[in-house]
Amino acid sequence: MSLTAPQIRKRKRRHGSEPLVMVTAYDEPGARYVAAAGVDFLLVGDSVANVVLGQADTLHVTVDEIAHHVRAVAAAAPDAHIVADLPWMSYHVSESDTVRNAAVLIRAGAHSVKLEGGANRVAMVRALINAEIPVMGHIGLTPQSVLAMGGFKVQGKTKAAAELLVADAQSLQEAGVFCLVIEGVPSDVGRRVTEALEIPTIGIGAGPDTDGQVLVFHDLLGLSGRPVAKFVRRYADIGAQITDAVSRFAADVRSSNFPAEAETYPTPSELLD
């Protein structure tokens, strides 16, 4: 059975919990393989824009596109906790828009939604929670802020910036988020935010002291066409295996080695005459 948001909320390492594991998933096969590995939750991230759709940033994906991927993931892993990213501009205009957009993702099969930002998102978080939708926060290097940040840059590098991140995290916790992603900050900031909260933190490039870790499916498996960030550990080189397998198929076709007898349907006797 999948973990519920209230169960995840209690998973603090300092209270003896095992670190949480989250991996992104965007389609049925990916979700099936990741769920079979026993991760705690699957994230249908707006990183789909980068790793599946080949875009340079996450600003161009829509609620309907995320919903399309949530449906595929939910078809594969109905028992896994599925978090869906609210894409850029789906929670920036009004509380009613935010709730309606989140409802599209929940109806597509998500169990919670994730949004980026700190104290500036508190009203939207409260509106979602009033509508009974569990919310995960995301602070630090928030990719939807790429234009405002002037690039994908490590955040929280000054004392003031680090203190602001801790304050943002506390505001989000107070508003009711059940879990918080911290991305692209020095390890010390990941630790300080984690220590300041009662809810679990999930790090990505935030050092070893968060309550869990998340990686992007394509980065972890060596399927990513883009240069990967310093914090990525590659556990396989599936991209090279795909190229090798398809090259062997092409060679077999070109040398008439495919299909073999065992890969063809026998001719019915009636057709032999």
Binding flag, residue 136, ligand KIV (CB under 6 A) = no
Which range touches ligand KIV (CB under 6 A), out of 3-11, 45-53, 90-98, 188-196? 45-53
Residues 6+ apart with CB under 8 A from 265: none
By C-alpha distance, which of 11, 13, 28, 17 is closest to 72?
Answer: 28
Residues 6+ apart with CB under 8 A from 204: 181, 182, 183, 184, 213, 214, 215, 231
Q: Indicate the residue among 43 and 74 with the shorter CB distance to ligand KIV.
A: 43
Cα 230 from Cα 196, distance rounded (Å): 26
Cα 258 from Cα 157, distance rounded (Å): 57
Tell me the site size for ligand KIV, rule CB under 6 A. Answer: 12
Helix 63-76, helix 28-36: angle, nearest 10 = 50
Binding flag, residue 204, ligand KIV (CB under 6 A) = yes
CB of 11 to ligand KIV, least distance (A): 17
Q: Indicate the residue among 215 and 266 with the shorter CB distance to ligand KIV.
A: 215
Which range touches ligand KIV (CB under 6 A), out of 28-36, 43-51, 62-70, 158-166? 43-51
Binding flag, residue 144, ligand KIV (CB under 6 A) = no
Q: Which two tokens stand for residue 38?
A: 């026993």
Binding flag, residue 25, ligand KIV (CB under 6 A) = no
Q: Indicate the residue among 140 and 166 with the shorter CB distance to ligand KIV.
A: 140
Q: Indicate the residue among 138 and 191 with the shorter CB distance to ligand KIV.
A: 138
182: enclosing H helix or E strand: strand 179-183
Judge residue 177's burial from the number of C-beta atoms within 10 Å of its C-beta, 0-12 exposed, 13-18 middle, 19 or more buried: buried
CB of 173 to ligand KIV, least distance (A): 18
Binding flag, residue 214, ligand KIV (CB under 6 A) = yes
Q: Which two tokens stand for residue 21?
A: 């594991």
Tell me the one-letter amino acid at 91.
Answer: Y
Q: Indicate the residue among 16 and 54 with the shorter CB distance to ligand KIV.
A: 54
Q: Indicate the residue among 133 and 215 with the shorter CB distance to ligand KIV.
A: 215
* Catalytic entry in 163, 183, 195, 198: 183
Binding flag, residue 185, ligand KIV (CB under 6 A) = no
Tell me whether residue 163 is one of the annotated catalytic residues: no
Binding flag, residue 24, ligand KIV (CB under 6 A) = yes
Q: What are phi and psi of 182, to 5 degrees?
A: -120, 120
Judge residue 272's burial from the number of C-beta atoms within 10 Å of its C-beta, 0-12 exposed, 13-18 middle, 19 or more buried: exposed
Binding flag, residue 220, ligand KIV (CB under 6 A) = no
CB of 257 to ligand KIV, least distance (A): 41
Cα 121 from Cα 137, distance rounded (Å): 9
The single-letter DSSP state of residue 82 is E
Binding flag, residue 216, ligand KIV (CB under 6 A) = yes
Residues designated as active site = 183
Residues that bind ligand KIV (CB under 6 A): 24, 43, 45-47, 85, 138, 181, 183, 204, 214, 216
